[in-house]
Structure 1
Amino acid sequence: MFCQEAVVIDPAQLSDPAVRAFVTAVNAGDPTAFRDVLTPDVTMSDDGSDRDVTEWTEREIFSAGGHMAVDSEVDGGRSLVVDFRNDTWGEMRTAWRFDVTPDGHVRRFETGQA
């Protein structure tokens, strides 16, 4: 049986600058840089349910060592397939979609199982 290893996209090569900054901040464990890429009224959903962004990101990303290994991007870099891992859940294949303002801030992101 032939097994092909997935090629991970370097976050520095992501097409959309706001999404690039989002992924870079997550992978660096940098909540300040993460907040800087978001609008003040950012919203998000996880598996179709809206969540509190601050609480969710602290629990799922920053306190749990969250990391995004990007497998693919479409829609100008605003839709990603990611192998996301954290210390709580391990690794899972996820889809991420981003709504970005004209001035380059994420106003909404959605994630869920891919």
Structure 2
Amino acid sequence: MTIHTARLSDPAVRAFVNAVNSHDREGFMALLAPGATMADDGSDRDLAEWIDQEIFSTHGHLEVDNESADGRAVVARYRNDTWGEMRTRWRFTVEDDGRISRFETGQA
């Protein structure tokens, strides 16, 4: 069962999902702390390259099925034009200023 984005517990994660789903690259980048990092399936990736290839140039979309860790870990159905739809897990590190310093994703 999908959790409506507005009901996600953590404000940074909620804003992340909204930015992905509305294809708002500028808003997405504003959510990230300076020097933010990410990993996909356990391997660190170049953040700018990854978000371009996996989110913005391929119409990425997240539908969150459940959340844990006070809303900073989610399982979601993620789809884009390259890979279609897959069940994924996401974990976020959010700094005191509310910006995301790291996210990790991979198949669930």
Aligned to 1:20: 14
Q: How many residues align?
A: 108
Aligned to 2:38: 44
User: Helix, strand or coil for the counterpart of 1:103?
Assistant: coil
User: Helix, strand or coil for the counterpart of 1:33?
Assistant: helix
Match status 1:88 vs 2:82: yes
Letter in 1 for 2:34: P
Aligned to 2:28: 34
Structure 2 length-normalised TM: 0.99
Letter in 2 for 1:9: I
Aligned to 1:66: 60
Letter in 1 for 2:92: F
| Alpha-carbon distance in structure 2 between the residues aligned to 1:64 and 1:43 | 20
Match status 1:76 vs 2:70: yes
| Alpha-carbon distance in structure 2 between the residues aligned to 1:53 and 1:67 | 17
Structure 1: runs of 5+ lacking an equivalent: 1-6
| Alpha-carbon distance in structure 1 between the residues aligned to 2:24 and 2:15 | 11
Letter in 1 for 2:31: V
Instruction: Give the CA deviation at 1:39.
Output: 0.6
Picking from 2, 7, 26, the partner of 1:8 is 2
Poorly superposed stretches of 4+, deviation over 6 Å: none
Percent sequence identity is 60
Instruction: Give the CA deviation at 1:40.
Output: 1.5
User: Helix, strand or coil for the counterpart of 1:64?
Assistant: coil
Aligned to 1:4: none
Structure 2: runs of 5+ lacking an equivalent: none
Match status 1:97 vs 2:91: yes
Larger Rg: 1
